[in-house]
Structure formats: structure tokens, C-alpha cells
């Protein structure tokens, strides 16, 4: 993007956000104006000839909207109504209870209880509903107006005085469950009368999105209400997520979870050069518009399951760790990619015996062959050749066991035991090399792999591109996380992993594009050792190899084995899902095939 087009895009965002803010403010003022023409408080005061000018109310500003990178609205606001009872004004509670039962479906006994609360300095107002729809509010207003006409004519002694209706803005998610684990949700705060953000961006940027509560004098005269100053809305977030890419990944994961009967299916797409996250998807997902549906929430999030598995759930990664072990050993000078090793099928170290996943000997292999055949024995030997100090120093530099500093709430760190920890043993060095006995998050894996795709440099992952607050746009620029390996090591590992996939005719291959990557099949630890026939199947990959534009990590939680196998392998389950995502992604990103890019000079 040229400097001029960048400036135009910034100005366009400012204009769009300013227009959105003015529209929201206008709707809010309009809502207040309409409500004070109709709310029972105003009617009651006019009936009694009250000369009061108005009252003071604490006003929460409109919550700031959230957009994807191309301006699609992912989180916004819509008008709903709060229904309450002004207790000192109540004359006869029974009619109020009947009307609330008939219009908004409130239980009659509950409504009668609220309407019958004796007024006192501590009990002035009772809230009975917060999210009444416009249709229900109109029905309530219609009944109230019918009663008011009868009351004025003296045809009824029953009173609806005390019934109060306030318009307010409530959070809405126009795309339903799209990227819901990234966005989070908005609900009532247990310790205040206001709503707050929970999980994801809504929690991480809650204070910025919600803005400051302010005190406003609200006149009973609707003409004066229009003259009131508007309340500045909360900040606007512009994301790095691409709505279309996010939707594509979610569709593929939904089908994969169903096909393999997995607990969950998850994927992240990362731009390795900037750390921008283009998609962060999980299946199943919660529709944040359905917070009142308790069964829906429990179905998506059984007890113990975090809101965003990709940043909060830790697990043993399995063989994807081998690429980081090998990269560290090559970078440290302990081995070269053409170093020869004879794999006898077992390796004894620290009092334990390491065996390969297929319980067979690998024979004579170079380091590329060790990765291609995913030899546990070879990688354990490589790690022990490095030694504990060097190995754990590199793993620390890759970011394992640490926060990635992603701009989302509730990130977990995972854990990699190190020498000096009370529960570390020499055998851990051997098993950690191939991803056993270490816990990570999916985001840590894709961030670390970014170093191999980005000349040895890792970037801080982020989903926020910019924030607009009070008309000022604040960009969230790329931030370097670290440089765990040298550029030449990253390039060599990328070529080696591409060759490994090609030699094994991997199901992760993408026609027309060279990809680098590695499968992972990890046993799942239980209370008494590893669970039988339960695995996490994964694949980490990036491409195109000559100039990587994306890193994709696919992780399926406890899928069922494919036909003819007793184990759910990453090579047969996660690898083809990677290929599906990558094949669609190169089209959506408008990346020409390798041969075409080479002919027109686009490749390095």
C-alpha cells in the first residue's frame, strides 16, 4: 500500500467513525425525546400539575463499535428498553403486574412483588426488565395510552402510574457467532448497575469501549431534551481480522469437527511479518446475542472449558515441537541438516527409554529425514546433544511458557519445566524435544513458527489494527517479540520442512504452492498416565516458501481415528484441513501460484 493510499484509508476511517458516532448520538437523543413524550413519569407529572423541570440521571455513553479490517461491523449497538417501576408513584400495583405479564411476559407474581415494594429513601425505583424489544415496548405504550385516555375521562379508577419505560442502547453482534471467541460479550456487572465486557476484546478494551459514565440533567419537556449535549461514545476498534477469511475458516472447522467427532476444532492464521491475526476460529462457538439461552452457553462451554481455547487452553503439542528443537540445534551448531543419525528405534536417557510413535526403527537418517519420519528417537538425541541449558534457553526465546502479549483477555502461559524446578528431571529434556511433558497454547505455537517464516524474528500477535477515540486514530503497529534464531537458520528450516512434506507426499500439500510444515499427534495426559487412543491432532505450516505470507495452525481436540486406524493422527486429520484452508486462502489473498510469481518476478 502506498503512502498516499494509507493516508486516504486513515481519513476514510475517521470519516466513517465520525459519522457512526453522530448517528448513534442522534439515535440516543431521539430515543430520549420519544420516551419522555410517553413515559408514565412525564404523564403523571402533567396530570398532577407538577412544576418540576426534570431530574438528574447517570448516563452510560454508547459502547464503541468493533469493525474488521475492511469496515464490516462485528459488534455494535441497537435500541432496547428498560422497564421499571417508580415506587412512590404507584397507586394500584395489580394493574401494573397484569400489563407487564401481558406485554413483556414477566411472571405476574414477580411483577406484583416489584410493584408492591413500599417506597422509602432506599427503595425508589425497581427495575423489572433491561432488554425489552421495540415491539414489546410499543405494545406497552399502546396499553398505557389506552388506560390514560380512560383515566382522563374518569372511566377507570385503576392506575398504571409508576410504570416507567426508558430507551437505551444494548450490544448486538450483526454476524452472530462469527469470531465470537475473539470479540467476547457484554453482560451485567455483578458489582454495579452497568454492563461490562467479558472475555476477548470486550473485556480487554472494556474501559475504552464503554467510555466514561457522566451525569446528565434530563428535562421533562421533550423540546428541551433535544437541546441536551450529546454523550461522547466509547472508542472504536478496527481489527486485523478479515471477516471473509474468518468465515471461511469457521465453515471448514465446523465440517471437520462433525466429520471427526472432535471435542473442538481450532485454527489461527497469522501474518508472520507483522504479527497480525487474520483469523482465529473455533468450533463450536457461542452466539453472544443469545446470552439468555443458558443451554446454548453450557453446550458450547461445558464446565472447565475456556471461552477462547486458542489462547486460554493449554495442551501437549506433540511433534510440532520437533521443528523448534531442530531449529535450535541447527542454530546452535550442534547439528547440520545433513548430519547423519542411525535410529535403532529406542533411545535411553535419564532413566527412561524413548521409542518412536510406530515402535519401529528409522534406520539411517539425516536431520531432514528425522523430521519427515517424525522420529522421537532422533529428536531426543538432538536435544541431549544440545544439552539442557542451550535447549531451554532457545525454547524460552521462542516464547514457550510465557505470555505472547496478545491484545485479548485471559491468555494462559502454559509451562515448560526447566532445570532447577522441583519437578524437573533429566528425562524431561528428552521428552520435551518432541512435545511431551510441556504445555502450550495454540497461539504460542503459531507465534513461535512465525520466526521460521519471518527470517528468524517473532512478532507480537495482535487482533487490533487501530483504535479511534474522540476522533483521533491510534494505530497499533507491529512489535518485535524476539529473535530466537538467525535468518539463515530460519531459511534452511523452511526449505527442509518443505522438502520433508514433498518427500512424504503429505496431505498438507497445496497444488501450485510450496508449503513448509509439520504434523503433530500428541497423547493426552490423564490422572493416571496418558489416555488410551485419545490424541490432539495438529498441523503447523506456512507459505508460499519463497516469501511466506501466512502461518496456519490447525488443532483438533480428541478427534476420532480415521477408518482403518486406532489413532487419530495429525497427518491424516489436521494436515488435509490445513490444505483446505491454504487452498482457499491463497485465492482470497490473491496470491498467484509459485510459477506465475517467479515468471513475473514476484518471488525473492
Identify whether the C-beta of residue 450 lies closer than 8 Å to the C-beta of residue 226: no
Q: Say if strands 277-283 and 340-343 run parallel, antiparallel, or are unpaired.
A: unpaired
CATH topology assigned to domain 3-239? Penicillin-binding protein 2a (Domain 2) (3.90.1310)
Residue 544: is the preceding peptide bond cis (ω within 30°)? yes
CA dist., res. 555 & res. 553, Å (int): 7
pTM for the structure as a whole: 0.85
- Extract the C-alpha cell encoding 224: 428541551
For 189, other C-beta atoms within 10 Å of its C-beta total 13
Task: Please state the domain extents for the chain.
Answer: 3-239, 243-599
DSSP class of residue 88 equals G
Question: What are the per-10-residue average pLDDT scores of the chain (604 residues)?
Answer: 38 46 46 43 44 60 94 94 90 92 92 92 87 89 89 87 86 96 88 82 96 68 52 90 98 98 97 98 95 87 94 97 98 97 95 92 95 96 97 98 97 96 96 96 98 98 95 90 98 97 93 97 88 92 97 97 89 97 98 90 60
Dihedral sign for Cα atoms in the order 410, 416, 417, 419: negative
pLDDT of residue 101: 93
Residue tagged 545433513 (cell numbers): 338
Q: Does the CA dihedral 244-514-567-527 come out positive or negative?
A: negative
pLDDT of residue 58: 67
- Position 228 scores a pLDDT of 53
d(Cα 257, Cα 267) in Å, to the nearest integer? 12
What's the pLDDT at 574? 97
User: Among 3.40.190.10, 3.40.710.10, 3.30.70.20, 3.40.50.300, what is the CATH number of 243-599?
Assistant: 3.40.710.10
Helix (H) and strand (E) counts for the chain? 21, 22
Amino acid at each position: 500500500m502506498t503512502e498516499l493510499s494509507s493516508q486516504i484509508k486513515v481519513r476514510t476511517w475517521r470519516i466513517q467513525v465520525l459519522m457512526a458516532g453522530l448517528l448513534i448520538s442522534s439515535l440516543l437523543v431521539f430515543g430520549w425525546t420519544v420516551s419522555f413524550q410517553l413515559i408514565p413519569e412525564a404523564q403523571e407529572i402533567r396530570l398532577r400539575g407538577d412544576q418540576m423541570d426534570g431530574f438528574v440521571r447517570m448516563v452510560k455513553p454508547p459502547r464503541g463499535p468493533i469493525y474488521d479490517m475492511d469496515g464490516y461491523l462485528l459488534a455494535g449497538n441497537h435500541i432496547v428498553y428498560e422497564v421499571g417501576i417508580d415506587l412512590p408513584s404507584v397507586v394500584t400495583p395489580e394493574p401494573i403486574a397484569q400489563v407487564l405479564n401481558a406485554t413483556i411476559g414477566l411472571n405476574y407474581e414477580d411483577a406484583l412483588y416489584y410493584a408492591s415494594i413500599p417506597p422509602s429513601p432506599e427503595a425508589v425505583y425497581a427495575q423489572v426488565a433491561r432488554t425489552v424489544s421495540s415491539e414489546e415496548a410499543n405494545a406497552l405504550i399502546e396499553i398505557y395510552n389506552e388506560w390514560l385516555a380512560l383515566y382522563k375521562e374518569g372511566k377507570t379508577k385503576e392506575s398504571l402510574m409508576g410504570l416507567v419505560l426508558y430507551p437505551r442502547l444494548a450490544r448486538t453482534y450483526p454476524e452472530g457467532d462469527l469470531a465470537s471467541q475473539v470479540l467476547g460479550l457484554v453482560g451485567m456487572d455483578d458489582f454495579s448497575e452497568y454492563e461490562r465486557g467479558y472475555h476477548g476484546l470486550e473485556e480487554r478494551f472494556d474501559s475504552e469501549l464503554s467510555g466514561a459514565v457522566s451525569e446528565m440533567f434530563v428535562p421533562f419537556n421533550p423540546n428541551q431534551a433535544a437541546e441536551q449535549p450529546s454523550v461522547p461514545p466509547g472508542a472504536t476498534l478496527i481489527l486485523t481480522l478479515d471477516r471473509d477469511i474468518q468465515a471461511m475458516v469457521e465453515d471448514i472447522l465446523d465440517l471437520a469437527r462433525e466429520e471427526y467427532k472432535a471435542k473442538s476444532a481450532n485454527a489461527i492464521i497469522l501474518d508472520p511479518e507483522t504479527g497480525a491475526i487474520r483469523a482465529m476460529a473455533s468450533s463450536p462457538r457461542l452466539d453472544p446475542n443469545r446470552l439468555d439461552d443458558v443451554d446454548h452457553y453450557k453446550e458450547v462451554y461445558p464446565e472447565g472449558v475456556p471461552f477462547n481455547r486458542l489462547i486460554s487452553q493449554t495442551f501437549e503439542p506433540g511433534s510440532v515441537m520437533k521443528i523448534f528443537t531442530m531449529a535450535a540445534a541447527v542454530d546452535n551448531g550442534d547439528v547440520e541438516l545433513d548430519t547423519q543419525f542411525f535410529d535403532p528405534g529406542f533411545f535411553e536417557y535419564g532413566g527412561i527409554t524413548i521409542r518412536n510413535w510406530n515402535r519401529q526403527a528409522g534406520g539411517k537418517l539425516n536431520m531432514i529425514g528425522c523430521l519427515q519420519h517424525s522420529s522421537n528417537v532422533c529428536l531426543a538425541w538432538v536435544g541431549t546433544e544440545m544439552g539442557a541449558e542451550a535447549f531451554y534457553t532457545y525454547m524460552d526465546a521462542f516464547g514457550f511458557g510465557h505470555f505472547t502479549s496478545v491484545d485479548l483477555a485471559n491468555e494462559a502461559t502454559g509451562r515448560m519445566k526447566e532445570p532447577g524446578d522441583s519437578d524437573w528431571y533429566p528425562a524431561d529434556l528428552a521428552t520435551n524435544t518432541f512435545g511431551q511433558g510441556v504445555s502450550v497454547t495454540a497461539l504460542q505455537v503459531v507465534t513461535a513458527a512465525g520466526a521460521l517464516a519471518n527470517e528468524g524474528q517473532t512478532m507480537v500477535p495482535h487482533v487490533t489494527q487501530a483504535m479511534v477515540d474522540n476522533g483521533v486514530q491510534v494505530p497499533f503497529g507491529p512489535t518485535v517479540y524476539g529473535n530466537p534464531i538467525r535468518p539463515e537458520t530460519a531459511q534452511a528450516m523452511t526449505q527442509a520442512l518443505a522438502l520433508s512434506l514433498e518427500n512424504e507426499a503429505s496431505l498438507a500439500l497445496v497444488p501450485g504452492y510450496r508449503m513448509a510444515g509439520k504434523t503433530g499427534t500428541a497423547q493426552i495426559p490423564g490422572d493416571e498416565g496418558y489416555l488410551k487412543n485419545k490424541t490432539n491432532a495438529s498441523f503447523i505450516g506456512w507459505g508460499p516458501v519463497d516469501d511466506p505470507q501466512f502461518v496456519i495452525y490447525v488443532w483438533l481436540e480428541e478427534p476420532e481415528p480415521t477408518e482403518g486406524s486406532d489413532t487419530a493422527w495429525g497427518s491424516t486429520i489436521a494436515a488435509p484441513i490445513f490444505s483446505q484452508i491454504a487452498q482457499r486462502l491463497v485465492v482470497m489473498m490473491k496470491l498467484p501460484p509459485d510459477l506465475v510469481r517467479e515468471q513475473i518476478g514476484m518471488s525473492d
